[in-house]
Amino acid sequence: MRTLHVKTATADYPVYIGRNLLAQIPRNKAVAGRRAFVLTSPEIWALWGKNLLAAFSRNQQPTVLFLPAGERHKRLAQIERLASELAQAGADRSSLLIAFGGGIIGDLGGFLAAVYMRGIDYLQVPTTLLAQVDSSVGGKTGVNLASGKNLIGSFHHPRAVFADVDVLQTLPEHELRAGLFESIKAGIIRDAALFRYMEQNSASILARDSAALEHVIVASIRMKAGVVAIDERESGLRMILNYGHTLGHAIEAATGYRTLLHGEAIAWGMLAALQIALARRTVGPDQAERIEQTILAYGPLPPFRATPAQLLAAAGRDKKNRAGTRRFILPKGIGNAIVVEDATDAELNSAIRWMLARARMGR
């Protein structure tokens, strides 16, 4: 087992990465002696619920709450329903919530913990690779509005994160690949060594070799923890973590959150942003080719349909925008990224049209 620490101005908590970690959760000091509630999805519970329950003693069995799978359920209505269930079950300010699932469970569960009784403690126990390498770390929580993704939320850090590599063995293939796109992003923006590892070891990683996956998870979390330590509230450096997300979120919104997984949309967004970087010469053609080929090596990327107008309008509602200024993240060579504030509609339209032409072919 590896242990990393996320340290910010307001939080300090461990991230455990390894195998058979579900069995260790009840013995953690953040859990011992507390009334625990588990928020999960029916699908995850069917696969791993018995393993988690078996780790708790008979007198410490947690109460289980369910959220239906799917991005369309990541809404305030579910927060109200789940908060009511917590209250009816007797949850108080000393209770602990365990978010046991993918990124939707983690985001919504963290926000539920942030607002229930003005804040209770929670654990992140991510069961998808994407959640393990990205959304479970850093304290961002939230739910969606019809007009955009994660527009309601708060910063609320977990007491600990348990990234169990074993649970990835039951992850559907497309969800594994979706998570790997986020790790490629981590390499592109700040960790050239991670990028090279993923560039050179795609076969073992896609084969779910435990050591290879653990290497990717540890490096991805270490990168993000380092960024969050410097910029907890996304006032500067942390914005680079959103490489590919402006257009990725736009794709999700334009397709009703039903066509692509989050990581797949981000992969398309990274490829489109790469076209702007090439045009601006912030990245050279050789490195751009390596970036594109590595992303595609973890594909295939699913096709989708949207119009340039839909995507441009959705990009205009991105949370990174400030006072009418569009902020956009571009790679500046492998292992480095910059935030630009002058991305034009013409640049975005060109990148969007390039992306849509590729997406229609499913490439």
Which CATH number is 202's domain given? 1.20.1090.10
Query: Are 166 and 196 within one domain?
Result: no
Task: Decide if 289 is catalytic.
Answer: no
Query: Are 160 and 237 within one domain?
Result: no
Query: Are 138 and 220 within one domain?
Result: no
Task: Decide if 140 is catalytic.
Answer: yes
Check residue 325 and give its pLDDT: 65
Query: Are 350 and 224 within one domain?
Result: yes
Task: Decide if 234 is catalytic.
Answer: yes
Contacts of 207 (CB under 8 A, 6+ apart): none
> Taking a C-beta distance cutoff of 8 angstroms, is the pair 333, 281 a contact?
no
Task: Decide if 58 is catalytic.
Answer: no
User: DSSP secondary-structure letter at 38?
Assistant: E
Q: Which domain holds residue 216?
A: 173-361
Contacts of 208 (CB under 8 A, 6+ apart): 168, 169, 176
Residue 49: name the closest of 106, 123, 127, 105 by CA. 127
Query: Are 149 and 52 within one domain?
Result: yes
Choosing from 175, 214, 232, 234, the catalytic residue is 234
Query: Are 227 and 94 within one domain?
Result: no
Regions of the chain with pLDDT less than 50? 323
Check residue 235 and give its pLDDT: 85
Query: Are 197 and 153 within one domain?
Result: no
Query: Are 243 and 95 within one domain?
Result: no
Task: Decide if 262 is catalytic.
Answer: yes
- As a whole number of angstroms, the distance between CA 200 and CA 334 comes to 14
Last residue of a domain, one of 170, 197, 213: 170
Check residue 56 and give its pLDDT: 96
Which CATH number is 13's domain given? 3.40.50.1970
Count of domains forming the chain: 2
Check residue 320 and give its pLDDT: 58
Choosing from 149, 159, 182, 214, the catalytic residue is 182
DSSP-assigned beta bridge partners for residue 98 = 38, 123
Check residue 100 and give its pLDDT: 98
Task: Decide if 29 is catalytic.
Answer: no
Check residue 318 and give its pLDDT: 65
Query: Are 149 and 200 within one domain?
Result: no
Residue 101: name the closest of 27, 152, 175 by CA. 175
Choosing from 185, 190, 238, 319, the catalytic residue is 238
Last residue of a domain, one of 128, 144, 170: 170
Choosing from 156, 262, 319, 326, the catalytic residue is 262
Contacts of 311 (CB under 8 A, 6+ apart): 247, 250, 251, 254, 352, 356
Query: Are 143 and 216 within one domain?
Result: no
Last residue of a domain, one of 136, 170, 204: 170
* pLDDT tens per residue across span 268-288: 999 999 999 999 999 999 999
Task: Decide if 238 is catalytic.
Answer: yes
Phi, psi of 96 (to 5 degrees): -125, 130
| 3-state SS track over 240-273 | HHHCCHHHHHHHHHHCCCCCCCHHHHHHHHHHHH
Residue 101: name the closest of 135, 53, 75, 76 by CA. 135
> Taking a C-beta distance cutoff of 8 angstroms, is the pair 208, 169 a contact?
yes
Choosing from 29, 58, 118, 281, the catalytic residue is 118
pTM for this model (two decimals): 0.93
Chain centroid offset of residue 281 CA: 29
> Taking a C-beta distance cutoff of 8 angstroms, is the pair 148, 253 a contact?
yes
* pLDDT tens per residue across span 108-141: 999 999 999 999 999 999 999 999 999 999 999 9
Q: Which long-range contacts (CB under 8 A, 24 or more apart) does 169-176 make?
A: 169/208, 170/47, 170/48, 171/127, 171/128, 171/129, 174/261, 174/264, 174/302, 175/102, 175/128, 175/129, 175/130, 175/261, 175/263, 176/129, 176/206, 176/208
Task: Decide if 182 is catalytic.
Answer: yes
Residue 150: name the closest of 218, 46, 242 by CA. 242
- As a whole number of angstroms, the distance between CA 341 and CA 321 comes to 9
> Taking a C-beta distance cutoff of 8 angstroms, is the pair 227, 189 a contact?
no
Query: Are 113 and 178 within one domain?
Result: no
Alpha helices in 159-207 (DSSP H): 173-190, 192-200, 202-206
Choosing from 177, 222, 224, 319, the catalytic residue is 224
Query: Are 323 and 289 within one domain?
Result: yes
Choosing from 150, 175, 177, 242, the catalytic residue is 242
